[in-house]
Amino acid sequence: MSLLEVAGVSQYFGGVTALAEIDMTVEKGEIVGLIGSNGAGKTTLFNVIGGYYRPSGGTVRFHGEHITGMKPYLICRKGIARTFQVVRPMRNMTVLRNVMIGRLFGRDRIKTEFQAGPESERILETVGLGQMMHVLAQDLTLVDHKKLEMARALACNPELLLLDEVLAGLTATETAAAMKIVRNVQEEMGVTILMVEHVMAAVVGLCSRVIVLHYGRKIAEGTPKEITENPKVIEAYLGESIV
Amino acid sequence: MERTRQTAILLGSIVLVLCILPVAASDYVLSLVLNVLMWVALTESWIILSGYTGYISLGHSAFYGLGAYMMAMAVMHLPCALVVVMAGFLSAAFAFAIGLPFLRIRGPYFVILTLGLTELMKYIFVNLEIKLGGTVGRVIMTAPGLVVLYYFILAITALATLAAYFAKNSRFGTALLSIKEDEDAANALGVNTSMYKLLAFGLSSAFPGMIGAVIALRLSYIDPYSVFNPMVSFQVIVMASLGGIAGFEGGIVGAVILTLVSEALWARYPYHYMIILGVIMILIAKFMPQGLFHPVERWLLKRARE
């Protein structure tokens, strides 16, 4: 049984087809990439998996269990955590308190702030925010905001982590460091990862499998190498005339 | 930790002084303190919902009026103290019932909805009264004296302040504050936002219900126009903004200062006191938008760090 199974998921907004019959699976321990140009439906798919949208059709299963249209907080407690493409920290809370929310309310939540503190500090260390614990979230730089998004999601103790463009907007050095963190999360913490990413170097470097969306349809799936050589993908990204 | 202990000692001594106050104080002073305490309780309870979750409610007057009516109708048959407690539970239950649909609405729409609630309640009661009794007022015959009412209010205020403290400094509080910061993100982190909003609304509404019940005894005559009065909600918001909405301290500071200042101004400048009060409020909104307690809070935090 796959960890995550998306079957025939469609999402319409009025007359717009944001997702058309998407089928995909994620196996335990993988890092799967989800790519596609702007408006391809990547974030919409995340929102369906995370419970923000009830899809117009199709099903989402996690560990074989139906989670289609379940409330986001319940999906989080089942073991799927997500980051937001546009970072959404609790701006007036400290970095530590931000992470403690996940620890206090996510999967395997612990119900006293007293215990949640030290565990949250450890998560902050793993993403490299140990120094910033007592800073207000609004005072962080972009790269630290991205790390906070990850730390907060990890604090929910997920089995599956949905990363929505965590590398976008980072410099080359920052990207390399962030990639190391993602790799670390998968290998050391044993978290399966589904990531939306535009930075192709990161997709090629991290993912064992890549799924390509184009105008709401899945047009290709395979190893990063297969994908970059797939004529349909090149056409979708670069336009017809070049091929 | 140190600060928590100091605050507890300070508040404990204040409560002690307030407990023995009726022995020494004149009726005027006792009424004044009762009035101050009433506004503290209303402001503290408002902060639990609106200060912590950011859902600005104008519905406090609706629950206040509900409590007052409950007392007016039940006082002939049941002991006052019991009716006060029942009014608290009834208000909380009513908040739970309407909270489900209400709390799905966010931002300014929620404000308007809760304002409408007070008006709705007012006219429901006007019509009920005309149908049932042919007139709209109710006289309360058997009210206890000032000292008893004072102790009722003191107990409710202490309870409201404790509730506002624990509703912030707990796991419950982390949930409420995360809703204020970003409700969708909180939900993604496992917070059952609908449930916590509902709990906060219920807890917040119990207190105006109880206060309304006691004040009905003090007024001895009520009608829907006087108890379902939106000015109660407005005044609570002004007090909360004056003191600061980030914690229970702001509620005390705002309610005490505004009640005493208006009393002093009213006694001295009966024709101009509203103008002076207005100017003070504007200046505070302009220069201390986070309330009077905010600079104190910052100073305390700084001292704790050093």
Under the banding of pLDDT at 50, 70 and 90, the label for residue B142 is: confident
* A60 backbone φψ class: left, alpha, beta (φ>0; ψ -120 to 50): beta
Which element (helix H / strand E) includes A215?
A: none
The tokens describing B221, both together, are 């005559």
Question: Is there a contact between B236 and B40 (Cβ–Cβ < 8 Å)?
Answer: no
Question: Is there a contact between A226 and A64 (Cβ–Cβ < 8 Å)?
Answer: no
- pTM of the shown model: 0.92
Res B141: pLDDT: 84
Strand partners for A16? A13
Burial-class residue A91 by CB neighbours within 10 Å (0-12, 13-18, 19+): middle
* Average of per-residue pLDDT across B6-21: 93
Q: What is the per-residue pLDDT across B186-198, written as a single tens digit (0 to 9) for each?
A: 999 999 999 999 9
ipTM value of the model?
0.89
Contacts of B184 in chain A (CB under 8 A): 52, 72, 88
Q: A240, A241, A243, A206: which is closest to A35 by C-alpha?
A: A206
The tokens describing B72, both together, are 């007016």
Residue A170 sits in a domain whose CATH number is: 3.40.50.300
Distance from CA of B250 to the nearest CA of A (A): 17
Contacts of B174 in chain A (CB under 8 A): 97, 100-101, 104, 113
Count of domains for chain A? 1
**CA B78, B82, B88, B93 torsion: positive or negative?**
negative
A11, part of any domain = no
Contacts of A101 in chain B (CB under 8 A): 174-175, 178, 186, 189-191
Report how far Cα B234 is from the mean position of its chain's Cα atoms. 11
A59, part of any domain = no
Pick from A42-46, A107-111, A113-117, B3-7 the range whose average pLDDT is largest.
Answer: A42-46
Burial-class residue B26 by CB neighbours within 10 Å (0-12, 13-18, 19+): exposed
3-class secondary-structure state, position A141:
coil
Q: What is the per-residue pLDDT across B100-136, written as a single tens digit (0 to 9) for each?
A: 999 999 999 999 999 999 999 999 999 998 988 777 7
* Average of per-residue pLDDT across B165-183: 94
Q: For an interface test with B, which of A70, A74, A105, A133 has the most B Cβ atoms less than 10 Å from its Cβ? A: A105
Question: Is there a contact between B255 and B39 (Cβ–Cβ < 8 Å)?
Answer: yes
Res A243: pLDDT: 44
Considering only CB atoms, B181 lies closest to which of A81, A92, A153, namely A92
Residue B233 has pLDDT above 80, yes or no: yes
A111, part of any domain = yes
A153, part of any domain = yes
A20, part of any domain = no
Q: Determine, for residues B191 and A73 on separate chains, whether the beta-carbon distance falls below 8 Å.
A: yes
Please state, in angstroms and rounded to a whole number, the distance separating the CA atoms of residues A124 and A122. 5
Please state, in angstroms and rounded to a whole number, the distance separating the CA atoms of residues A28 and A64. 13
Residue of B nearest to A46 (CA): B188
Q: What is the DSSP string of A38-105?
A: TTSSHHHHHHHHTTSS--SEEEEEETTEE-TT--HHHHHHHTEEE--SS----TTSBHHHHHHHHHHH
Please state, in angstroms and rounded to a whole number, the distance separating the CA atoms of residues B225 and B246. 32
Please state, in angstroms and rounded to a whole number, the distance separating the CA atoms of residues B19 and B13. 10
Number of H helices, E strands in chain A: 9, 10
Residue B58 has pLDDT above 60, yes or no: yes
Which element (helix H / strand E) includes A27?
A: none
Question: Residue A33 sits in which domain range?
Answer: 28-54+69-238
Q: What is the per-residue pLDDT across B65-95, written as a single tens digit (0 to 9) for each?
A: 999 999 999 998 999 999 999 999 999 999 9
Q: Which residues of A touch B (CB under 8 A)?
A: 50, 52, 71-73, 76-77, 81-82, 84, 88-93, 97, 100-102, 104-107, 109, 111-113, 152-153, 155-156
Q: Determine, for residues B189 and A152 on separate chains, whether the beta-carbon distance falls below 8 Å.
A: yes
Q: Cβ neighbours of residue B109 under 8 Å, at least 6 residues apart?
A: none
Backbone angles phi, psi at B50, to 5 degrees: -80, -35
**Strand bridging mode A57-62 / A65-66:** antiparallel
A220, part of any domain = yes
Residue A242 has pLDDT above 60, yes or no: no
A152, part of any domain = yes
Q: Which residues of B touch A (CB under 8 A)?
A: 170-171, 174-175, 177-178, 181-182, 184-193
Please state, in angstroms and rounded to a whole number, the distance separating the CA atoms of residues A133 and A138. 12
Domains along the sequence of chain B with CATH? 24-305 (1.10.3470)
Q: What is the per-residue pLDDT across A23-38, written as a single tens digit (0 to 9) for each?
A: 999 999 999 999 998 8
Residue B3 has pLDDT above 50, yes or no: yes
Res B1: pLDDT: 64
Backbone angles phi, psi at A59, to 5 degrees: -135, 155
A195, part of any domain = yes
